[in-house]
Amino acid sequence: MKLTEKETARYNRQILLDEIGEDGQLRLKQARVLIVGVGGLGSPIALYLTSAGVGTLGLIDDDTVSESNLQRQVLYSEPEIGLSKAEQAGKRLQALNSQVHIETYSERLTADNAEAIIGRYDLVVDGCDNFATRYLINDTCVRMGKVYIYGAIRAFDGQVSVFNYQGGPDYRRLFPDEEEMYAMPHPPKGVLGVTPGLIGCAEANEALKIIVGYGEVLSGKLWQIDLKTMETFTILI
């Protein structure tokens, strides 16, 4: 497989980077990435991976667009209120980059379908908002040898890590007691719109690093940021 002249021209600015080049762009073209949840986190993840030229992008989300989503879920617009997020996101991303193959699933990721869906992709990027789905993603990725890029937000804070990468720790190393996590009170729903934007971009960045093979991957580390102070912290897992 080679890059076409059109692809070489389109991705010229990142091909010029020594860390990427034509070989890295070809790896992106051959990559298959699944995004679980195309809301606040999934929107920037999907936009930047599509723009970067990831060859096949899967989107799974059973929700529909609501008016309150528009403050932070930048894939959507007012005429799409009430419509399927996965389907509308697919249309928007296909319009952004017709060279990328978009696969949409207007359903929830469950124990019944997780292996069949995740098995079609090289890595999974977390755009969800609940512990049950994260444990499901993690455990399925561990069984199938897939990389799991994790991101989570609350109000002005966010965090990112990479699990099951080259023998590194998985999500259960960070949160070992599943029942304790389910018992935690739900956090307030308030969130600054740019919080998922920034964290989603960080997740997309980890995906690009893993696919192309440059930089230092956040495996065995949890990166955190407080947007009120712009302080960042990295802890070892």
Residue 64 belongs to domain with CATH number: 3.40.50.720
The 10s digit of each residue's pLDDT in 110-139 is: 999 999 999 999 999 999 999 999 999 999
Instruction: For residue 211, tell me if it sits in a domain.
Output: yes
Instruction: For residue 14, tell me if it sits in a domain.
Output: no
**CA 177/CA 159 separation, integer angstroms:** 19
pLDDT attached to residue 138? 98
Smallest Cα–Cα separation from 76: which of 68, 65, 87?
A: 65
Q: Phi, psi (5° rounding) for residue 102? A: -105, 130
Instruction: For residue 177, tell me if it sits in a domain.
Output: yes
In the block, tokens 């070989």 appear at 23
**CA 51/CA 96 separation, integer angstroms:** 7
pLDDT at 95 > cutoff 80: yes
The rounded percent of the chain whose pLDDT value lies above 90 is: 93
Which of the four pLDDT bands, split at 50, 70 and 90, describes residue 177?
confident
Q: Which residues pair with 178 in a beta bridge?
A: none
Question: How buried is residue 64: exposed, middle or buried, by Cβ count under 10 Å (0-12/13-18/19+)?
Answer: middle
Q: 144 by DSSP, 3-state: which?
A: helix
Joined tokens for residue 81: 């209120």
Joined tokens for residue 89: 């996101």
Instruction: For residue 22, tell me if it sits in a domain.
Output: no
pTM listed for this prediction: 0.96
Instruction: For residue 11, tell me if it sits in a domain.
Output: no
> How many domains is the chain partitioned into structurally?
1
pLDDT attached to residue 185? 82
Domain that holds residue 128: 31-236
pLDDT at 187 > cutoff 80: no
**CA 223/CA 232 separation, integer angstroms:** 7
- Of how many residues is the chain composed? 237
Instruction: For residue 40, tell me if it sits in a domain.
Output: yes
Q: Phi, psi (5° rounding) for residue 181? A: -65, -40
